[in-house]
Structure 1
Amino acid sequence: MELRHLRYFLAVAEERQFTRAAARLHMQPPPLSQQIQELEQELGFALFLRQPRGVELTAPGEAFAEHARAALRTLEQGVTHARRVSQGQVGRVRIALTSSAAFHPLATTAIRAFRETHPGISIELSEINAAEIIEMMSNGQIDVAILRKPIETPADLRFELLAQERMRLVLPLGHALIGARAVSLDALAGEPFIFVRRPGAPGMYADFIRACEARGFTPRVVDEVPRMVTAINLVAAGGGVTLVPASMQRYRQESVRYCRVAGDDAFRAPLHLVTRPETQSPAAARFREMVLKFGRESA
């Protein structure tokens, strides 16, 4: 049995006549009659009572018509839904952010705008480190990610620069360097640094470390933590100092101060959009377009 048989049958059932049904289907009555007969043979029961001026449905024909209409209606709904999926109107997009990317206004603004403009697309949001993001994206567990500066850039992933922002030094209250218009790199030579663990944010501090080495010293790292918020809280507890992207100042920790570092043009914090172009879903493509649009507007 084919779908066309259902359509032929329902046309005859609704028109109660082969001639009108054939005209509606843009075919001749004899081939239509033959198709109905073949359908009846396949089903093993008569669908119509043939009368001089038309046809009437048999009792089995009435029952079959009800289910045939439901089947075609379900199929049409499936086609409509699949078309909306193909157009990126419905579906799902799995988004991952690093903790520092989550504090950047571009990321949160784009996600909120996407929710408002694409209510048919569900968003699964997770916050993990850059190394985990790269692994999960390569395994197809994440569709889109926003992160800082990964050290590994697999060929199957697409990395697009969204923004660049200055870094800020985070000092505990009472630190002697607070109050300077811009803290010099030389003044940081003896400071104990807390960095985000470099497998998690491998490229975040590379430019800063090179800038320090150009001044004749290597930053003394006393602790490495999995998240920037943790680093800031450790600074507040007197564990050392740290360096974060400027947007992390949105994290209001009352026991620290965010300070500019002189020469910070040499070590900025990038923000990247990561996607999987070869297997990108229409929903993920729509989200990518929106994030890139916000990135261009904020540049």
Structure 2
Amino acid sequence: MEARHLRYALALHEHQHFGRAAASLGIAQPPLSAQIGALEREVGERLFDRTPRGVFPTAAGEAFLARARCALREMELAAIDAARAGRGQTGRLRIGFIGSALLEPLPVVLGRFRRDRPQVRLDLRESSTPAGTAALLAGELDVAVGRGAPRGPRVADLTTVAIGTDHLIAAVATSHPFAGRATVEVAQLAQQRLIISPPEEEPATAAMLGAVFEHHRAALDGATYARDVHTITGLAACGLGVGLLPDSARRAARPDVWFCDVAPRVALPDLRMSFRADDRSPVLAAFLGSVRHECAEVGARLDAAIARSG
């Protein structure tokens, strides 16, 4: 039984005449009669009564036609759904990210993607850079955003592109002696109790801090660890130490915290976005389109990274 058989039966029901039904379908009457006869033999029931007044469905025909309408509608919807999925308008996208990525650039990218693809299900997960990389390689994520290049076995299977740069700043309570200052020296920071991300959360940042405080290892050894920028800022506001953060943390400013630049200026490892090089998902392609649209400077790097991976 084919979809055309269902359409033929519905046309015959609508026009109640083989000739008129055939004309509406753009075929001759004899083939239509033959096809309806073949359909009835396949179903095993007479579907239409042929009378001098016209052609009318039997009780079996009424039941069959009700299902036929639903079946054709489902087939139309299946084609529509397939087209939407092929364009990346439906489906699911799983994204892992470090907390500071929500300061920038993820808000504008996710906002654009949500507006353009409202029917795509977004599964968002905050994770450390190593955990995000591992989940991506395991197929548990489609995109991972972390700081620094991914590390570990099989990272060659990933396409990675820098999506943001930043530098180090210090956060202190407004009652702290550093409050009101534009900059603070590394040597001065070394005399304070520091609040930093755990090394296992952002290994690239930990390595950078190790280099910055190479001659002041005690400052790092006695540091307080906090996972995200909001916690680091909050602990600094409580007067529990000096928080070391990306400059983008200024976007989450609060009245009881003062931010100082660190001198000399210390560049943080790039914020990087990774995805599996062999992932051809239309939803991923649509997300990368949102990245290109909202982060124009990333587009050329993204295209070059994809070309290298391909």
TM-score, normalization by structure 1:
0.83
Q: CA deviation at 1:179?
A: 4.7
**Secondary structure at 1:279 match in 2:** coil
1:214-261 deviation line (CA, Å, top 9, x unaligned): xx4435232323323222333333433231111112333444321111
Q: Give runs of aligned pairs for residues 1-299 of structure 1, distance below 5 A.
A: 1-51=1-51, 55-104=55-104, 106-152=105-151, 154-213=155-214, 216-218=215-217, 219-222=219-222, 223-264=224-265, 266-296=266-296
Question: 1:85 and 1:53 mapped to 2: Cα distance?
Answer: 48
Q: For residue 305 of structure 2, what is the aligned residue in structure 1?
A: none
Question: 1:232 and 1:123 mapped to 2: Cα distance?
Answer: 28
Unaligned runs of 5+ in 1: none
**Secondary structure at 1:84 match in 2:** helix
Q: For residue 306 of structure 2, what is the aligned residue in structure 1?
A: none
TM-score, normalization by structure 2:
0.81
Q: CA deviation at 1:168?
A: 0.6
Question: 2:292 and 2:286 mapped to 1: Cα distance?
Answer: 10
**Secondary structure at 1:93 match in 2:** strand
Q: Quick one: which amino acid aligns to residue 196 of structure 1?
A: S
**Secondary structure at 1:123 match in 2:** strand
Going from structure 1 to structure 2, the CA distance change for 1:269 and 1:169 (only over 3 Å counts) comes to farther
**Secondary structure at 1:207 match in 2:** helix
Question: 1:198 and 1:220 mapped to 2: Cα distance?
Answer: 10
Question: 1:280 and 1:167 mapped to 2: Cα distance?
Answer: 36
Question: 2:190 and 2:63 mapped to 1: Cα distance?
Answer: 86
Q: Quick one: which amino acid aligns to residue 261 of structure 1?
A: V
Going from structure 1 to structure 2, the CA distance change for 1:184 and 1:273 (only over 3 Å counts) comes to same
Moved more, 35-44 or 69-78: 35-44
Q: Given that residues 158 and 275 in structure 1 are in contact (C-alpha distance below 8 angstroms), is that contact kept between their aligned partners in structure 2?
A: yes
**Secondary structure at 2:39 match in 1:** helix
Unaligned runs of 5+ in 2: 300-310
Q: Quick one: which amino acid aligns to residue 93 of structure 2?
A: V
- CA RMSD of the aligned region, Å? 2.9
Identity of aligned residues (%): 34
Q: Given that residues 204 and 269 in structure 2 are in contact (C-alpha distance below 8 angstroms), is that contact kept between their aligned partners in structure 1?
A: no
**Secondary structure at 2:221 match in 1:** strand
Q: Given that residues 160 and 274 in structure 2 are in contact (C-alpha distance below 8 angstroms), is that contact kept between their aligned partners in structure 1?
A: yes
Q: Quick one: which amino acid aligns to residue 93 of structure 1?
A: L
Q: CA deviation at 1:84?
A: 1.5
Moved more, 235-244 or 175-184: 175-184
Moved more, 68-77 or 87-96: 87-96
1:27-54 deviation line (CA, Å, top 9, x unaligned): 4444433332222122111112234686
Q: CA deviation at 1:273?
A: 2.4
Aligned length: 295
Q: For residue 302 of structure 2, what is the aligned residue in structure 1?
A: none
